[in-house]
């Protein structure tokens, strides 16, 4: 449930940055991505606008949460946010334009998916020069801004759900276990079975795999 800032509530530091920024920019959209590093599947970006005074306990960098915490926080964010946007860019586009440009495209799509136009974008470590909205690029922004942290949770949950779907389509790769990241087990499965349609063929760890019996 949403909690409102008051003299009786200690506001976590991660919400304070956004609260101070709202004095000049009322609508803040935090933006983050999930899936830049994996060898398979899409890169997913999310944009989240939290309302003024909204303090959701537990909001933090998605990498510091458990799967259950992320699921619970996901619904807290969706139910309380003023707007949530998502952008999904698949492996075929990643192979065509590279992962950095695909990440920027996913973020741009997430902003365009918002139902409101933000006054400012807070982006984790990336600049969106193609978006004509005032913005701040923040290193490790998911640890400094609640809006970015919320976006990191939305993006992570959406991407994990997509990879669970792909696990059903390509069970031999066990995507439910590693979500496409380059774990030892995943690499061994690519070595054994070769890449599948959702693998990123432009990534060296995929294209350089030498199959047991050649191509």
pLDDT for res 76: 96
Check: CATH 3.60.110.10 for 3-158?
Answer: no
The pLDDT tens digits for 171-213 are 999 999 999 999 999 999 999 999 999 999 999 999 988 666 4
Domain spans of the chain?
Answer: 3-158
pLDDT for res 212: 60
> pTM higher than 0.85, yes or no?
yes
pLDDT for res 5: 40
What does DSSP say about strands 43-49 and 28-34: parallel, antiparallel, or unpaired? antiparallel
Question: Could you tell me what percent of the chain has a pLDDT over 70?
Answer: 93
pLDDT for res 4: 42
pLDDT for res 9: 54
């Amino acid at each position: 449930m949403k909690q409102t800032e008051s003299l009786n509530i200690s506001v976590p530091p991660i919400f304070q940055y956004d609260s101070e920024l709202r004095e000049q920019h009322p609508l803040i959209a935090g933006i983050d991505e999930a899936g830049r590093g994996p060898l398979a599947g899409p890169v997913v970006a999310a944009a989240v606008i939290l309302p003024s005074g909204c303090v959701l306990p537990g909001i933090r960098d998605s990498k510091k949460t458990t799967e259950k915490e992320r699921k619970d926080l996901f619904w807290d964010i969706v139910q309380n946010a003023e707007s949530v946007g998502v952008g999904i860019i698949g492996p075929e586009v990643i192979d065509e334009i590279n992962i950095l440009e695909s990440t920027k495209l996913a973020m741009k799509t997430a902003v365009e998916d918002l139902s409101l136009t933000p006054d400012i974008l807070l982006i984790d470590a990336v600049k969106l020069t193609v978006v004509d909205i005032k913005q701040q690029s923040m290193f490790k922004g998911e640890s400094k801004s609640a809006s970015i942290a919320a976006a990191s949770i939305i993006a992570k949950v959406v991407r994990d759900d997509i990879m669970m779907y792909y696990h059903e389509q390509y069970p031999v790769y066990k995507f439910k276990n590693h979500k496409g990241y380059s774990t030892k087990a995943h690499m061994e499965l690519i070595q054994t079975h070769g890449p599948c349609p959702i693998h990123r063929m432009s990534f060296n760890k995929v294209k350089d795999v030498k199959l047991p019996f050649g191509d």
